[in-house]
Structure 1
Amino acid sequence: MKTLENEVNYFTVPTRNEVSSNNQVIFDNLEKSLGFVPNLYATFALNETALGDYLALQNRKSTLSPKEREIINLVVSQVNDCKYCLAAHTILGKVNGFTDDQILEIRRAQISFNEKWAVLSKFVRETTINRGRPSENSLKALFDAGYTKANSIDIIMIIGDKIISNYLHSFTQIPVDFPIAPNL
C-alpha cells in the first residue's frame, strides 16, 4: 500500500500573499505576538475559515491551567506520533516551566513529579488511544484526583484540538519549523 510519503507532496506552506485577506490579518497578528507564523498555522490558512476557527478553539477559556493544557498537548501528540506538535509543545512546555526531563515523563504519561498530573496524563493517553473511551478505572482515578466534570469536558476538547493539528500535520507533512523534539 502506498502512503502519502511515497507520493508527490501536495501541500506547501502558503505565504501571506497566498492566503485570503482575512487570513492575512491573522498572519499579521501571529507575527506580532509570536514573531513568526508557524507552518502548521499557515497550512490551516489554505482554507478561508479554518485558521480562525482553530485559533478560537485553541485559545478558548478553560478550567485547566496552562501546564495541564500542555500535558494534554504533549501526551496526545506523542500517542499520535506528531513530530510537528511534539516539537512545538516541547518549546511551549519549557515556556510553561517544565524541564526537559519532565517533558519526557509527560510524553510517556509516566509523571513522577506531580500525582494529580500523573493521573491526568494516564487518562489522556488512554482516552486518546481508545478514541474517547477511557476505562471506568481511569475515569474514577481522574475524579478521585480532584478533576471535575467541567474539567473533563475541557480535557476532551483539548484532546480534540490536538488531534486536529496532529492529523493535519500527518496528512500534509509540512516542514517542522521548531527544534525537533527528542525521540523517546
Structure 2
Amino acid sequence: MTTINVPTREDVTPANQQIFDQLKGKLGFVPNLYATLAHSEQALGSYLAFQNAKSSITGKAREVVNLAVSQVNECEYCLAAHTVIGGMVGFTPDQILEIRSGRASFDARLDALARLARDVTERRGHADPELVDAFLAAGWTQENLVDAIVVVGDKTVTNYLHATTRIPVDFPAAPELKPRRAAAE
C-alpha cells in the first residue's frame, strides 16, 4: 500500500507556505489534514475558503453537522478534531457522543439538525422528507437547510481525504461511540 506523507512547510508551494504560516499563527500548528491538502497547489486555499465562507450554520450548529457527518463516514481524524472543537464551543463530552449518534435531545433545534445531517449523509443526499419537515418545524429556515447541506459537503471532503490517505491523526482520539439501541431511534 502506498503511504501518503504529510508535507512540511518546505515541501509545499510558496502560496501554501503562506497558508501554513497563517494556520500556525492562528492555531499554533498546521493540522495534518490541512497539510495534506497542500499536496495540491490549489486545494488547501480553495478548501479553507469554502470552509470559512459565510454561512447561517455556525458555532455549535456547525459542530453538530461536523460530528454527525464524521461519525457516519467513520472518519477518525475529523471525529478527533471535532470532539476537541465541540468541547471548545461548549458541548459536554456526553453531548458530543449523542451528537455523533445523530441526536441532540438536550436541544430541539440541534436535534433536528443532527438527525437531518446524519440522514443526508447516510442516504447520500436523499434526505427523508419527514426529517426535512421536522428541521423546518424546529425553527430552521430554507437558507439554513441549504447551508447545512453545504457543511455536510465540506465535512465529507475532509472525511474522504482522510479515509483515502490515512495520514496520522494529530488530535487526541475521540472516545469510542457505543452502538445505539434501536429504541433510541
Q: Work out the number of aligned pairs and report it.
A: 177
Listed as ranges, the matches of 1:22-171 within 5 Å are: 22-171=15-164
Q: Percent identity?
A: 53
Q: 1:174 aligns with which of 149, 167, 182?
A: 167
Write the letter of the residue equivalent to 1:12.
N
How far is 1:116 from its partner?
A: 1.0
Write the letter of the residue equivalent to 1:8.
T
Task: Report SS of the residue matched to 1:176.
Answer: coil
Unaligned 5+ residue runs, structure 2? 178-185
Tell me how far apart the structure 1 counterparts of residues 144 and 156 of structure 2 sit (CA, whole Å): 18
1:113-137 Cα offsets, whole Å, 9 max, x none, are 1011111101110110000111110
Mean Cα deviation higher: 17-26 or 113-122 = 113-122
Write the letter of the residue equivalent to 2:112.
V
Task: Report SS of the residue matched to 1:163.
Answer: helix
Tell me how far apart the structure 1 counterparts of residues 48 and 103 of structure 2 sit (CA, whole Å): 29
TM-score (norm 2): 0.94
Tell me how far apart the structure 2 counterparts of residues 150 and 17 of structure 1 sit (CA, whole Å): 41
1:17 equivalent in structure 2: 10
Task: Report SS of the residue matched to 1:175.
Answer: coil
TM-score (norm 1): 0.95
1:8 equivalent in structure 2: 2
Unaligned 5+ residue runs, structure 1? 1-6
User: Where in structure 1 do 4 or more consecutive aligned residues deviate above 6 Å?
Assistant: none
Alignment RMSD: 0.7
